C-alpha cells in the first residue's frame, strides 16, 4: 500500500513540475530576398577565390565584391 502512495505522490509532483505556461515565441519577420551570392573557390594554389553577387531587382551581376567591401584585407579570400 505504501508503494502505491509513493507512486501517486511522484505522479502528482510530476504533474505540477511539468505544467507551466510557455512563453510565446516572437514570429520571424521574413526579409525579402534581393539576390544571391556566388562563391568561386578559384584554382588550386593560386589564392584567387572570388565572391560575386546577383541582384534580382536590378538584374546586376557584380563580380569580386569582397575586396571592395573589405579594403583593409590585403590578401584574397584564400586558397583551396
pLDDT in tens, the chain (80 residues): 788 889 888 888 777 776 667 778 888 888 877 889 988 887 787 778 888 999 998 999 988 888 888 777 766 676 65
- Which domain, by its residues, includes 45? 32-73
Geometric angle at alpha carbon 18, from 12 and 22, rounded to 5°: 145
What local confidence, expressed as pLDDT, does residue 16 receive? Answer: 75
What local confidence, expressed as pLDDT, does residue 44 receive? Answer: 80
d(CA 75, CA 67): 9
What local confidence, expressed as pLDDT, does residue 20 receive? Answer: 67
The total of other beta-carbon atoms located within 10 Å of residue 36's CB is: 10
Q: Which of 67, 61, 36, 66 is nearest to 51 (CA)?
A: 66
Residue 14 included in any domain:
no
- Number of domain units in the chain: 1
Residue 50 included in any domain:
yes
Amino acid at each position: 500500500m505504501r508503494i502505491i502512495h509513493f507512486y501517486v505522490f511522484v505522479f502528482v509532483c510530476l504533474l505540477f513540475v511539468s505544467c507551466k505556461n510557455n512563453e510565446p515565441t516572437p514570429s520571424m519577420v521574413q526579409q525579402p530576398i534581393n539576390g544571391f551570392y556566388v562563391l568561386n573557390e578559384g584554382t588550386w594554389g593560386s589564392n584567387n577565390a572570388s565572391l560575386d553577387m546577383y541582384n534580382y531587382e536590378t538584374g546586376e551581376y557584380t563580380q569580386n565584391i569582397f575586396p571592395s567591401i573589405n579594403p583593409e584585407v590585403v590578401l584574397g579570400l584564400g586558397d583551396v
